[in-house]
Structure 1
């Protein structure tokens, strides 16, 4: 009987040790991942600060930059016209606790053949999902200040490009930003980066773009939390083992 109890205790101890090891490894991995994220955000902020130290660039100067140069963070001023008919509504955008859309429209700078996709800002969604908001984009030439972003433009979404609206109706409600798909919708090439309008809100939308949503310090804080969770698990296991003995 004692042998059976001893074996059960032994198996139980082995199981607990395995669980503790798994939990600690997971916590270490998540902590290391948060540290990596924090380092990446620090590099991103440094890059943005460096490019913004050059001041606001005219559009022609932006186009003259090397194609391999990442244009994220560049601030530019544009003069041109907006395609007021063909535009997209980026779904599920939350500003100050309210759900709405970001207005994405093609902006054709003066003396440029290729338009740039510009996020004009946020507008509140109607009460019904069956109804799209009414927007009046400017038809005359305007001046806007934008901040550029290049690279990964789409956030997390369960929708795939082929499931986004493929009909000929405008505006189109979309779940993420896909420049290749938008170029197909518009039947014309686009530059390979997007502009986020800067300034105060107006009838076209409320600009709310932040290049870095979560600071590096928060990522480092989460890393410490995961490491403390792993350490706590080890301490609890040791204390429980001593009490059993």
Structure 2
């Protein structure tokens, strides 16, 4: 959807040209292409122009953190629409904020958020999808400065949660997450049996172990940079996460 794509800073929203017909008939039309919605969001001020792509198409991005929050909250509301879902999300995210424990959070994401995808989505699955789901589950801009694709010394951390200065007196931890994605075919899995493996068994598979090692190597470099920037006040926990087939999560 346009909302999902707007959160991807690596691939900005593009349209060949801005639409200009926003009459009642157009607004009430059941089917409108993404170009119409992007144009409408631009005119409403919740997208901003950022130039053109190599094909001459207009590029758009979210203008600021306030509007970014609206996008994330819109996605969260579409995924978590019952009191029980919201309450459980709050519980598992608070465990993660204060302890760094990924188990309850990943159980929740597997059971609730990954279930919204079907087999047709697998061809488009990548690290961005996984990062967006974690952003939706963990979003808390009251306690954290949250950023995706954080620039860290010539590299980019996938998702960072840095405690706001006025919140460091509370029992919160800083977090940096790095995501990798694998398709089941990359594990040599063409049957349902491998989908039933435990997390420990999945973690031992060579392709999974390799992805985790790659993520951990990146995180180690990012940690050094963040410790130089923030010094002793930093309470950083790093997390390498591999998503398999938009079904299973493994971490280290």
TM-score band, normalised by the shorter chain?
Answer: under 0.3
Q: TM-score, normalised by structure 2?
A: 0.19
> Which has more radius of gyration?
1
Q: TM-score, normalised by structure 1?
A: 0.19
